[in-house]
Amino acid sequence: MPPRLPPVLSGADLPAAELWAAKLDGELFLVGDCFAPVDEIVQATHRARAVHSVGAPATGVDSRLIAEQRSAAWIWGALDVAPIHQQLCVVSNSRAGRDLPRTVSVREVVIRGSEIAMVGGLRVTTPLRTIIDLARFSEAFEFADVRTVSRLMRQSGISLEQCEADINGRRNLPGKRRALQRLSRC
């Protein structure tokens, strides 16, 4: 029996020309910047692998990286299209130790273990942390941001009251007041 392809393919698996040719032949489709066989049903695990494969060497994904903000919202299914710029973070006492593409930003953050979910063996901020981060750090928080946060709240079963309680339970949280105002629009 021939070996089965991984559910998400990147340049680490096959040359880019082969991947694009298979897509043109109708054998693969895009999942972010990666590809998946047409018989796969895209789920959060596929999207997480696509985000974490960005800049990953052939040896694998940097286990310190955590998908956050818009990248996490896409993984959780609150965005229909993968963000062009992937947003990742690491725990504040870690460093993103290697060069990453320009389409990736990595922040050092203070994050509790309870705010990190494992999706397909990869680290992603929980829906609650993702909602709060989007409310705190989105530049303008326009209609698209309100729609993304509202969709993530609805899909995850997270209420405005839960978000407010989490934010108010943190001392010295930068952007707390702005986040609460923004969340009231969702």
Tell me the C-alpha distance between 182 and 34, whole Å.
33
Res. 9: pLDDT tops 50: yes
Question: Residue 185 — pLDDT band, cuts 50, 70, 90?
Answer: very high
**Contact of 54 with 33, CB cutoff 8 Å:** yes
Whether 99 shows a pLDDT value over 60: the answer reads yes
Amino acid at 159: S
- The Cα 4–Cα 21 span in angstroms is 19
What confidence tens digit (pLDDT) does each residue in 43-92 have?
999 999 999 887 565 445 677 889 999 999 999 999 999 999 999 999 98
Give the separation between CA 92 and CA 90, rounded to whole angstroms.
6
For the four alpha carbons of 6, 7, 11 and 12, in that order, the dihedral sign comes to negative
Place 103 in a pLDDT band, splitting at 50, 70 and 90.
Answer: confident
CB-CB contact of 55 with 74 (8 Å)? no
Taking residues 94-114, report their average pLDDT: 82
Could you tell me the residue ranges of all domains in the chain? 44-183
Do 44 and 75 touch, CB atoms closer than 8 A? Answer: yes
Alpha helices in 5-139 (DSSP H): 16-24, 44-53, 69-75, 127-137
Least confident of 7-21, 44-58, 125-139, 149-163: 44-58
- Classify residue 12 as exposed, middle or buried by CB count within 10 Å of its CB (0-12, 13-18, 19+): middle
